[in-house]
């Protein structure tokens, strides 16, 4: 899947300077287009389960979620490695994950697991509020994103941005397209401005680092989540379930 060698140390140097780095033309575009078609048909035909959650658990079934709230509006598909489905998707992400570990050796932290996901931001509704990523106070999160859409043809306005080390807001989607990979330090604020246009919208795949523990099972995790946020999530899921009946 990776068709060109890259130098992890060069990427890391750029990230340490500005917060992000883009590796151009290193993935097979034909394979990415196959994955993209599967995702687009999945969001048309699959049943939507819970809203987007913060903490999947080991053994969970693959699922497609949709959230439309004050923080985000997106479809997110979860493709867990233990389910042995959608192998192409997981194979590509596991190769990119290996590269991420070379760029960020810190990601080899013993308690971190990763799972594969895709996100679809439909035109004229999709967005994600600005935020910083964290797993816990002592673990930094270094992310990668594989774009499966192109700004200019799939959507015209908005898209992924990062506030870089100088404080400048950089529209990443204006710099990347199919075949490229974005690496960034999740401690820099990032988000997705409302995606606008007439095509399929903005699509991406990436693997999310997490600790695979249900908040209910971990007093430490539960401490980090406010009661209000926890209850709101539970109520939202109950409401979604009720709506689908
Ligand atoms: Fe994030």
Supply the pTM of this predicted model.
Answer: 0.84
Distance 142 CA to ligand 1 centre (A): 10
216 alpha carbon – ligand 1 mean position (Å): 23
Residues in the chain: 245
pLDDT digit string, tens, across residues 224-242: 566 776 677 677 667 766 6
* Res 221: pLDDT: 58
Q: What angle do CA 120, 46, 61 make, to 5 degrees?
A: 90
> 200 C-alpha to center of ligand 1: Å?
22
Condensed to tens digits (0 to 9), the pLDDT of residues 135-192 reads: 666 667 889 999 999 999 999 999 999 999 999 999 999 999 999 999 999 999 999 9
Contact 19, 165 (CB under 8 A): yes
245 C-alpha to ligand 1 centroid (Å): 32
The pLDDT of residue 245: 46
Please tell me the distance between residue 186's alpha carbon and the centre of ligand 1 in angstroms: 6
Residue 70 has pLDDT above 60, yes or no: yes
Burial per residue of 140-174, b for 16 or more beta-carbon CB atoms within 10 angstroms, e otherwise? bbbbbbbbbbbbeebbeebbbbbbbeeeeebebbe
Instruction: Give the closest residue to 178 by CA, choosing from 64, 11, 35, 79.
Output: 35
Q: How far is the CA of 134 from the centre of ligand 1 (A)?
A: 8
Is the pLDDT score of 21 beyond 70?
A: yes
Please say if the pLDDT value at position 109 is more than 70: no
Taking only the tens place, the pLDDT of each residue in 180-224 is 999 999 999 999 999 999 999 999 999 887 766 665 666 655 665
> How many angstroms is it from 166 CA to the middle of ligand 1?
19
Ligand 1 mean position, distance from CA 102 (Å): 20
- How confident is the prediction for the chain on average, in pLDDT? 86
């Amino acid at each position: 899947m990776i068709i060109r060698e890259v130098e992890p140390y060069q990427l890391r140097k750029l990230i340490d300077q500005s917060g992000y780095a883009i590796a151009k033309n290193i993935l097979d575009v034909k394979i990415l287009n196959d994955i993209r078609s599967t995702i687009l048909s999945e969001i048309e035909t699959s049943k939507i389960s819970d809203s987007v959650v913060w903490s999947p658990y080991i053994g969970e079934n693959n699922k497609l979620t949709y959230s439309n709230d004050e923080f985000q509006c997106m479809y997110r598909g979860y493709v867990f490695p233990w389910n042995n489905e959608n192998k192409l998707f997981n194979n590509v992400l596991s190769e990119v994950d290996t590269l991420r570990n070379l760029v960020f050796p810190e990601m080899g932290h013993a308690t971190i697991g990763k799972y594969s996901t895709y996100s679809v931001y439909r035109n004229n509704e999709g967005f994600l509020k600005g935020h910083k990523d964290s797993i816990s106070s002592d673990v930094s999160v270094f992310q990668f994103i594989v774009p499966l859409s192109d700004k200019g043809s799939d959507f015209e306005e908005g898209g992924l941005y990062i506030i870089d080390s100088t404080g400048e807001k950089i529209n990443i989607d204006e710099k990347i397209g199919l075949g490229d990979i974005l690496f960034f330090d999740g401690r820099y604020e990032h988000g997705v401005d409302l995606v606008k246009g007439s095509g399929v919208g903005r699509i991406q795949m990436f693997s999310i680092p997490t600790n695979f523990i249900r908040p209910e099972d971990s007093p430490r995790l539960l401490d980090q989540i406010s009661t209000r946020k926890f209850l709101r999530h539970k109520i939202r899921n109950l409401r979604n379930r009720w709506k689908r009946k």
